[in-house]
Structure 1
Amino acid sequence: MSEQTAKPKIAISACLMGAEVRFNGGHKESRLCSRTLTEYFDFAPVCPEVAIGLGTPREPIRLIGDPQNPQAVGTVDREINVTQPLADYGQKMAAELNDICGYIFMQQSPSCGLERVKVYHTNGAPVNGGGRGIYAQAFCAQHPDLPVEEAGRLNDPVLRENFITRVLAYSDWQQVLTQGLTRRALIEFHSRYKYLLMANNPLQYKALGKLLGNMALSDPQELGPRYFSELMAALKKCATRGTHSNVLQHISGYLKQAISAEDKEEVQHVIGQYRLGIVPLVVPLTLLKHHFRQHPDPYIAQQVYLQPHPENLSLRNAI
């Protein structure tokens, strides 16, 4: 990421940045977000419950009724019903935060949780499976392609790497739109994302290639949004050791004329060690990058897969 470009912007539940806005007057600071990621992203903190006028501290709210369409009511005073204000605020913020590239929500929150938020029957018994927070539901409905994740899930290294990769892909696409969406821009974008897509979702990689292969008669202004929606859906699937190993093999193929038999053997050995779970992804990637520094290849050099996020975040050291 060049120094000139502004940091991509991520919206976040304010309590995760250490703001004391929770119902009990506390916070749920995520050091990953508040300390580590702030070097690379600008955060826009939001607390919908405080924004709609609920005080701090306050009586907690809970979701009751149909998990697909629950009501947010007071846990003690059932007359308090903030369903509509939270939904309205979600729509308002969806319109205002139109320059973000991702959103990190507080898990289990009746306003902000993305999944498995507790929903109760009117008699107080929990509903199986749970639902989604009212604000989060309203917000995400307006931004179906936006990368969203819950803070708790970011403790998983595979999910963390996947989310940050999607945020930066979203940001990358916004740059393409700013410069103007042409057929050439679409083809070049897809070309750069080839191996990342192949690692995350080999089937969708083929489908997206076909979609662009039939572009001659399509208007890029119409095809672009459809392509991007499908790309973001494809990148949601987490890559595995198997799919990463397959991509590493493909990339190593570009070195076969350039490096010695001994070096080739070492590359194969290290990819095999990664596949078996003996070393993390950063090990075969570092070796491949070393060889490509000595034997540059213009096609490989432009591949997002080799560096989809800032190296200092060390996101591939644990996967």
Structure 2
Amino acid sequence: MKPLNRTFSIAPMLDWTDRHYRYLARLMSAELLLYTEMVTTGAIIHGKGDYLAYNEEEHPLALQLGGSNVHDLAICAKLAAERGYDEINLNVGCPSDRVQSGRFGACLMEEPALVAECVNAMRAVADIPVTVKTRIGIDDQDSYEFLTEFVETVRDSGCDAFIIHARKAWLQGLSPKENREIPPLDYDRVYRLKGDYPELSISINGGIKSLEECKTHLTKLDGVMVGREAYQNPYMLAEIDQQLCGIEKPVLSRDAVLEKFIPYIEKHLQAGGRLNHITRHMTGLFQGEAGSRIWRRYISENAHKPGSGIEVIEQARKNMIS
């Protein structure tokens, strides 16, 4: 099995990194590793929708699971492998109250033995990598020793790849949004972790806004994971393959990306989907370009209307350059 390229990945973001956004991202980079939104084991096992659906073009694609029930995680891991996912990632980083009440997310950092058991159970039934995304600590348990004890325990279950959000999480008193902004970033701690455990694949997440920053992190680490910047300014992905992965090929223009995306949107509309289900992911495509506010505004004001079609996108682009 060919190892996954972890040089650059897009963070799992609830309500943002759905299959439409992921398709758009893949148009711009063949090499980046995509992650689904976090999906709970309960949704997959008991939900009425197909929570494992994706477009074949999205590969390589990782499923991020939320849960702590060993049996349920094993069921979901087996299903994910059967459906063709390339990786399963366990969420040990989300600090929201709802997630904590379900005993998963960042609060699991307090239970490394349980996380190890979960990883072991998933690896036993799935022949694809099982990885863990975590924080550098929680609440007052934020020493380097706390982090290394967690990593070592989980490593011993067979997990050899970790994505580290370089902030600790406050489980009480801060919202998920505040937990992405208020606890200070500590990149050096993640660098130290890689130095002490060189055999592990260590990727870094948190506050990364440019490809230049990515290059800096990649001098010390195996991968970078970018979240909000990759969503709000998706065109940053257009040079991933060239700048970070050393692949010589032309960089697609924004209009070329748009042209390649149109058939996908048309297929979605023909199947009864709504235009704004997709265009909400495209409002940042022209960020930094002249007329980008005109683009955003026209799409925001018109894509949600009943019967809206491709003409809304075409008109938005015309308005930008007129």
TM-score by length of 1: 0.30
More relative contact order in 1 or in 2 (CA 8 Å, sep 6+)?
2
Identify the structure with the greater helix proportion: 1
